[in-house]
Amino acid sequence: MKKIGVVGTGKTVGIADDHLNGIQANKKEWILEAIYDLNIENAQEFVERNELNQNIICSTLDDLFSKVDAIAICTNNSSHREIAEYAINRSIPVICEKPLSDTYKEAEMLALKANESNIPNYMGMQYRYHGYAQVIKEILNSKKLGEITFYRHNLGGSRLGNSNIELEWRMKKETSGLGSIADFGIHQLDLIDFFLNDIAGDISEITAQTGTYIKNRTSPAWADDGKVTNDDVGILYGKLENGALFNLCNSRIFPSDGHCLEIIGLKAAIYMDNNHNIFIREKDKDGNWNNYREQKREEDKHSFLGGARGKQYKEFYDIINNDVSYELNFKYGAEKLGLIEKAVKNFNHCI
């Protein structure tokens, strides 16, 4: 059993709670030994709501590092790189929330250092391990769709659609880097890679559009003003190597009704709605699209103990203990952030 520490318990979104669920789903592999948050009240609330022992709260980051075999980084984006580098310098395996840094250059340098150190480094990009993703991958592997021509994915969170919510660190470029397009776009890029890389190839062209529509919020004590300085809506679009087009819309402020995924081939098409209901529509013998679409349901084989995050913590343990190969490393996370930065720069260049 490995001892793990969580850095950054949060206050609003619950990323640390999600990681805790993954840890607790793997009781034979992991035990939560320590937590640390710059705000001691956040750490205390985390312990209370999850009915944990108060003794796991650490007063310093060094205190946490002295007690654990691995760490999970759930802090704000701008601090990911520094904490992850500190862990690697101390030869401590690390699972880090995305994005790896708030800039590609920093992320690339960290990924290189992590690779050279040979310390297990793993990204918290769990979407490919959701049951719906496993169903869709299975359909794609069956080759039913034929040549892929189009991919569309809408993803985001509706919480910040409430303009009365005060300014958070994720709304400032200096503490988060890019906004919605990084927070959700990285998951979208991971999924399109997971689904289609071996079928339609890598992304060959990419650009972006971004916008900020709730421009000002109530200012908290830590901020000089309530101005939002990064995007709350973004679109990534371009081509895959086989010529297929893709469109990835991401938002912090839209309602969840529009969350959906669509993959179209020359023989059949997949559609997933905002409730993760998956349908496949095929063409008839005359080449016309059928009026009927078949629903594909998740089965036991599509789910993992503890869900997507449980699968991640099982994989993270196997990476450390059993030296298994893995894709979701810092290099992979840096590459996806680099694609987003390239897309945004392409958009700015076009103006």
- Provide the number of structural domains found in the chain: 2
- Residue 107: pLDDT over 90: yes
One domain, residues 266 and 320: no
| Predicted pLDDT at 201 | 98
The 30-36 sheet, strands edge to edge = 30-36, 2-7, 70-73, 94-96, 121-123
One domain, residues 102 and 59: yes
The DSSP bridge pattern shows strands 2-7 and 30-36 to be parallel
Q: Where would I find the beta strands (DSSP E) of 54-191?
A: 70-73, 94-96, 121-123, 148-156
Taking only the tens place, the pLDDT of each residue in 60-105 is 999 999 999 999 999 999 999 999 999 999 999 999 999 999 899 9
CATH number of the domain encompassing residue 6: 3.40.50.720
One domain, residues 152 and 272: yes
DSSP 231: -
One domain, residues 140 and 79: no
CATH number of the domain encompassing residue 267: 3.30.360.10
| Predicted pLDDT at 351 | 42
pLDDT interval class at 349 (50, 70, 90) = low
Is 46 inside a domain boundary? Answer: yes
| Predicted pLDDT at 10 | 85
The arithmetic mean of pLDDT across residues 283-302, rounded, is 96
pTM of the model: 0.95
CA distance 163 to 142: 45
Taking only the tens place, the pLDDT of each residue in 233-275 is 999 999 999 999 999 999 999 999 999 999 999 999 999 999 9
Share of the chain above pLDDT 70, in %: 99
Which token pair is 179? 């906004």
One domain, residues 46 and 151: no
Is 342 inside a domain boundary? Answer: no
CA distance 346 to 140: 31
pLDDT interval class at 11 (50, 70, 90) = confident
One domain, residues 258 and 159: yes
- For residue 134, give the H/E element and its range: helix 131-141
- Residue 216: pLDDT over 80: yes
CA distance 35 to 51: 14
One domain, residues 144 and 175: yes
Is 229 inside a domain boundary? Answer: yes
Taking only the tens place, the pLDDT of each residue in 301-328 is 999 999 999 999 999 999 999 989 999 9
One domain, residues 114 and 9: yes
- Mean pLDDT estimate for the chain: 95
Is 343 inside a domain boundary? Answer: no
Is 8 inside a domain boundary? Answer: yes
One domain, residues 133 and 261: yes
Is 339 inside a domain boundary? Answer: no
Share of the chain above pLDDT 90, in %: 93
Taking only the tens place, the pLDDT of each residue in 133-178 is 999 999 999 999 999 999 999 999 999 999 999 999 999 998 889 9
Give the residue among 309, 209, 213 at the shortest CA–CA distance from 252: 213
| Predicted pLDDT at 348 | 62
Give the residue among 259, 21, 251, 231 at the shortest CA–CA distance from 159: 251
One domain, residues 163 and 288: yes
One domain, residues 223 and 75: no
One domain, residues 20 and 42: yes
Range of the domain at 144: 128-296
User: CB-side exposure of 283: number of CA atoms within 13 Å?
Assistant: 12
| Predicted pLDDT at 175 | 87
- Residue 44: pLDDT over 60: yes
- Residue 347: pLDDT over 90: no
- Residue 29: pLDDT over 70: yes
